[in-house]
Structure 1
Amino acid sequence: MTSTRTTFSRRGFLGLTAAAASVPLLAACGGGSASQGGGSAGGTIKFWDMPWATPALNDASRKLTEGFSGANSKANYQIIQWNNFYQTFSSAIASKTGPAVSTGGGFQAFQFEQQGQIAYADNLIETLKKNGMYDDFLPGVVEPFKTDKGYVAVPWHLSMRVMWYRKSLFEQAGVDVPKDWATLLEAGKALKKIGAVGFATGAGAGNNIGNQAMIMMMINNGGGVFSKDGELDVMNDRNVEATEFLLELVSNGIIDPAAVSYTSANLDAQWKDKKAAFGAHVSQMDTRVGDTSGDLIVASPIAGPHGDKGGLVFPNNIMMYTNTPSQEASEAFLVYYLGQLKELWKQKLMNALPVFKSIAELPEFASDPNNVKIVREWQPIAKTLAAQGDKLNANLAVLDGGQALNQFTQTILTGKTDAKSALQAFESGLKTVLKK
């Protein structure tokens, strides 16, 4: 699995999805122009997929797709590149040449739902309950996709942000792996003395690990950008406390002073070159940076000052569209495809967390102790960008990878601010772009 493609694929869809806020919405009257195809199956289901990892993954996905023959239908497969992907989908949907089913941006389904172009997955969910597949989902992965009108999508893999550490550097520094914020600060100071980075991150061009670390630390303190009912809640006390702690890490040199300019390649090199000792990163980071020696280990979740624990998760999903030759066939294809996902992990083509417990138990996945720890310790406590709430929505595309969050992260990493001023600027930036 090459790191370059993985880096772009993960951030590509979330960062580029954020740009969707500037793309005019399709006419919302579209219900009449879409082909619902409700009753009779048949026709060819167009499945659009993204380059999530190496070309071998897409080759395998194509074979799975072309193996479908249910509901008197077949399916064809098309790869859509991340570059300008939202415009590609928008144009195709407007001209009724788009897919019936697709993967895509993390919040894409919510954006197209606003335009009346998403076919709700409620019947599909009921089918999954009847055939036993619903009970195989990991806890809490389906509900974020439920809106007042129905389920806009179903999850198919999870992109996790977890804390990693390099065992040899902690041994060299003579300090334990952090269990809470106090010991993170203590360890960071000891690691600095041996020239290691105690909280590795970056906010340079194309690198959103820094953005995600900011939100992750808020969640780790029981905070988050939104309230439980989805209202903007940047200035809550827990966010202020988390930001103050991040600034303390900066002032103590525990965060590299150059991190504000580190690209993904810079950050990954810091981990590979045994300079980074602790920090937030993607699952299977060891594979990504090319060090599977066992020295890079997923840490257990650390506790915030009030005892809170939490990680950050991006639940990637598959959605159905109203413009389909047959809604019955769309659903039949998706049931089939979800049932075949295990083949992608068996072939070790996926570098993300599966959404099904049975896949997480496959030897090809469970043989990696880091994978096991993420499933057991991080997935149950992970929250989405909707935290403190738990329902996804289109506004999250504007938050993730947007200018307001980028500027907040860069301001914190330079250390030339105080917590409340930085958060107030962050809140003001979000208010100008978030939809009411």
Structure 2
Amino acid sequence: MTSTLSAATPGFSRRGFLGLAAAAATVPLLAACGGGSASAGAGGSAVKFWDMPWAAPAYNDAAKKIAESYAPTGSNLKASYQTIQWNNFYQTFSSAIASKTGPAVSTGGGFQAFQFEQQGQIAYADKVVDEFKKNGMFDDFLPGVLEPFKTDKGYVAIPWQLDMRVMWYRKSLFEQAGVDVPTDWSSLLEAGKALKTIGAVGFATGAGAGNFLGNHAAIMMMVNNGGGVFTKDGELDVMNDRNVEAVEFLLELVSNGIIDPAAVSYTGDNLNAQWKDKKAAYGLTVAGLPARIGDTTGELLVASPLAGPHGDKATIVFPNNIMMYKNTPSQESSEAFLVAYMGQLKDLWQQKLMNALPVFKSITELPEFTSDPNNVKIVKEWQPIAKTFAAQGSTLNAGLAVLDGGQAINQFTQTILTGKTDAKSALQAFKSGLESTMKK
């Protein structure tokens, strides 16, 4: 599992599996590896909950406490907790599930539930959603958060945190350049030119090894223009006019030096350094940026969403989720644990262990959350317009892992950042790369 930031920061988020079809074909059907085994399999005395290192070690300590303090009622089983590392996590899950030593409930990659659903391994969460409707938690979900997980067969998973992409800016650099924070594409271009005169980067991004923020920025600008990689029905739609217009604009930013000429090789650490060293003035990145880079100046602020040339406003979001598996000592126990665990998520934000956004409105209203005005702005202005990689559609599916984790999007972004292309050529190569991967 690679991070959008450095491995030392809590940037682990929602990465899809790299090349679903190829990976699935090469995973050996063996017992779990890499720490993926645990004592209670089907027929055991506990519901096994596998969780990932979503933040600093204190996060896993707190999550373990929540899971292991769960007090089941009636004949429901207690829960056990185990941290699964991102390194080789696909193989860990796949081989454990194949050998029936895997978890009953887990977090994991953003599209993991849909991938294992294709293999017939996922237990649908409709009864969990029904319980949410009874206890009031259903109405507590932020708008549009739960719907992407509903398929014709049922709810594939339950979202628990939102990995948002938002625009940040450094106030002092805009003041020094004497320009306002952009509100649309044209003012972004003009502000970028002014920022360049003071040696600042007007659209900070990167597409070097392990840095996916450049990919996200490219897709975000398409979506921000009413475009996207897919139609509403989930068919590839790479060459639509809105996408062409978005890539043309990105190329204009490159040609004007508003995107750093070296961005094509910038790793997460390089990009972090630009923000920390007050070189980056504006750009798309993750929530909680100041904490992630250790900036305490108070001058890194969330900007308002940009308006595209046709008035569209949108960003992208990766809804991380919790899934249940058919191999469980008790499906009722899995469901009861998941409901209870979701009900205790507030503890993680109250302890300020999470940089991602919560999925519940009640958590966004906690003083520990609202004490940061950037959090408040993200919830108010960005979350309502956020779309997934499925845009122009809305329903998630396993095929999105091909987009998110494959080489086609990396090559596409790097081609744009070099500036040695035109929009239609870049998009055509992107389309061909996706088609060839999806046919495998």
* TM-score normalised by the chain length of structure 2: 0.93
1:20 matched to 2:20: yes
The structural deviation recorded for 1:289 is: 1.1
In the alignment, is the contact (CA less than 8 A) between 2:10 and 2:54 conserved in 1? no
1:272 aligned partner, one-letter code: K
Identity of aligned residues (%): 77
The structural deviation recorded for 1:3 is: 6.1
Deviations 1:317-363 (A, max 9, x none): 00000001111000000000000000000001111100000000111
2:67 aligned partner, one-letter code: T
1:176 aligned partner, one-letter code: D
Match of 1:189 in 2: 193
**Structure 2: where are the runs of 5+ without partners?**
29-42
The structural deviation recorded for 1:7 is: 5.3
Q: Give the alignment's Cα RMSD to 1 decimal.
A: 1.7
Match of 1:44 in 2: 46
Match of 2:323 in 1: 319
Match of 1:94 in 2: 98
- C-alpha distance in 1 between matches for 2:341 and 2:278: 40
1:399 matched to 2:415: no
In the alignment, is the contact (CA less than 8 A) between 1:225 and 1:386 conserved in 2? yes
- C-alpha distance in 2 between matches for 1:362 and 1:3: 29
In the alignment, is the contact (CA less than 8 A) between 2:6 and 2:269 conserved in 1? no
- C-alpha distance in 2 between matches for 1:267 and 1:239: 25
Match of 1:9 in 2: 12
The structural deviation recorded for 1:108 is: 0.2
1:279 matched to 2:283: yes
Number of aligned residue pairs: 420
- C-alpha distance in 2 between matches for 1:325 and 1:267: 46
1:300 matched to 2:304: yes
Match of 1:56 in 2: 58
- C-alpha distance in 1 between matches for 2:282 and 2:175: 13
Match of 2:138 in 1: 134
* TM-score normalised by the chain length of structure 1: 0.94
1:247 aligned partner, one-letter code: L
Q: Provide the secondary structure at the position in 1 that maps to 2:172.
A: helix
1:242–1:308 distance in 2 versus 1, CA, 3 Å: same
The structural deviation recorded for 1:8 is: 5.2
1:384 matched to 2:388: yes
206, 210, 213: which one aligns with 1:202:
206
- C-alpha distance in 1 between matches for 2:49 and 2:396: 23
Deviations 1:123-164 (A, max 9, x none): 110110011001000000001001111100000000000000
1:166–1:362 distance in 2 versus 1, CA, 3 Å: same
Q: Provide the secondary structure at the position in 2 that maps to 1:68.
A: coil
1:358 matched to 2:362: yes
Q: Which runs of 4+ in 1 moved over 2 A?
A: 2-8, 18-21, 24-27
Q: Provide the secondary structure at the position in 2 that maps to 1:9.
A: coil
1:317 aligned partner, one-letter code: N
Match of 2:262 in 1: 258
Q: Provide the secondary structure at the position in 2 that maps to 1:18.
A: coil
317, 342, 361: which one aligns with 1:338:
342
The structural deviation recorded for 1:292 is: 2.8
Match of 1:158 in 2: 162
Comparing 72-81 with 369-378, greater Cα deviation is found at 72-81
Match of 2:67 in 1: 65
Deviations 1:236-281 (A, max 9, x none): 0000000000000000000000000000000010001000000000
